[in-house]
Structure 1
């Protein structure tokens, strides 16, 4: 029961923070949506600030669940494809991406400093995996700045489809991701990425 209450609080807070931003979402409304009392927020998270940081951490983990390439990913192309597959939504019913994008957008519009606090634990590991995916295509003397920019570019090509998942579900975007479409989308992104990365001078 205790775990269910904590999970309900996280889900309710994630939804309200995504809808209203940190400053406009009250702990009273979060507790009401989670069908619990105000004291439970203090019990599980100590404060609204700590709850917000946990929501952001949980959102990054849930939205960008990057898996390490399997043993079958022996070439640089296979490893790139495995990375892309881990970021592309498997279905338009996956609403995590759109909600995550709203959370990040609110944080960009009205910074609380929370992203800085989870940079090492949540953000940097994902960026490091992206760097590992693109590094084999770049020249050995590629600067850290260019490597980082290329990694962010690749992540952006994938995450935009998570951000648009809700609109695709409503039929407003002609990019289906259900069933075989998800794998076709992975193949398309990979093909475009390979054409760009393979043209980089080694």
Structure 2
């Protein structure tokens, strides 16, 4: 049973990534997976239920691979804690170049998300609260040494989203634009670290200003 379920999920992920939710039929999936139609209904209830589970797996795998889990209890200073998070995020960013940093994303992940953005099914919106925001808030929790105790859950989610985007895009862009990044990639990552740290500090100031407190 579990093997059939996993096979359906893997097959559906490939087809959904290629064709999108609306253009994919259940017949496409069962034919390629070599299972019968009843298996879809048994394990997932419907095409929509299958798509939701595929998207849930994609988001869980993405966050497990890309969002660091770091013990910052030994950090000597807030800046050091934030730098540790920033470096870990950048180290997990995909680099399409000879100098690879971390494992690449599974091919179906960006394509599935892109398909959902281009032709929304509503499933991703439903999964944001349970599969995205908690991970961003957890990332924000790591930055509390600098954000301060007044940071709200919304603050942490906002900082998490912002930091992931800042630390993920530059290494990928360098890998695409420079065939032999070498020292250029190291320079870019150092610059990204400084800019991201400055951004988090500014956000901390905004949080403190909002709460009528001064940042030390």
Q: TM-score, normalised by structure 2?
A: 0.68
CA distance in 2 between counterparts of 1:183 and 1:4 reads 43
The equivalences for 1:109-148 within 5 A come to 109-138=118-147, 148=157
Q: How many residues align?
A: 192
Q: What RMSD, in angstroms, separates the aligned Cα atoms of the two structures? A: 3.7
Is the alpha carbon distance of 1:188 and 1:134 closer, same or farther for their aligned partners in structure 2, counting shifts above 3 Å?
same
CA distance in 2 between counterparts of 1:175 and 1:11 reads 33
Is the alpha carbon distance of 1:6 and 1:142 closer, same or farther for their aligned partners in structure 2, counting shifts above 3 Å?
closer
- My pick for the range that moved more, 72-81 or 30-39, is 72-81
CA distance in 2 between counterparts of 1:20 and 1:73 reads 48
CA distance in 1 between counterparts of 2:180 and 2:201 reads 28
CA distance in 1 between counterparts of 2:30 and 2:122 reads 24
Is the alpha carbon distance of 1:185 and 1:29 closer, same or farther for their aligned partners in structure 2, counting shifts above 3 Å?
farther
Kindly provide the CA deviation profile for residues 73-120 of structure 1, in whole angstroms up to 9, marking residues without a partner as x: 535433552465255347576232x53222222222222221232223
CA distance in 2 between counterparts of 1:147 and 1:67 reads 15
CA distance in 2 between counterparts of 1:191 and 1:136 reads 17
* Residue 150 (structure 1) aligns with: 159
CA distance in 1 between counterparts of 2:193 and 2:38 reads 48
The answer (yes or no) to whether the contact 2:81–2:142 under 8 Å persists in 1 is no
The equivalences for 1:57-96 within 5 A come to 57-65=56-64, 66-70=67-71, 74=75, 75-76=77-78, 77-78=80-81, 81-82=84-85, 85=88, 87-89=92-94, 94-96=104-106
Kindly provide the CA deviation profile for residues 140-171 of structure 1, in whole angstroms up to 9, marking residues without a partner as x: 66687665443321111244379x59x95xxx
CA distance in 2 between counterparts of 1:139 and 1:156 reads 22
* Residue 34 (structure 1) aligns with: 33
**Structure 1, unaligned runs of 5 or more:** none
Q: TM-score, normalised by structure 1?
A: 0.72
Mark the structure with the bigger radius of gyration. 2
Kindly provide the CA deviation profile for residues 21-67 of structure 1, in whole angstroms up to 9, marking residues without a partner as x: 11011111122232322222112111111111101110011111135
The answer (yes or no) to whether the contact 2:7–2:33 under 8 Å persists in 1 is yes
Higher RCO (C-alpha 8 Å, min separation 6): 1
Q: Does 1:174 align with 2:175?
A: no
**Structure 2, unaligned runs of 5 or more:** 95-99, 206-214
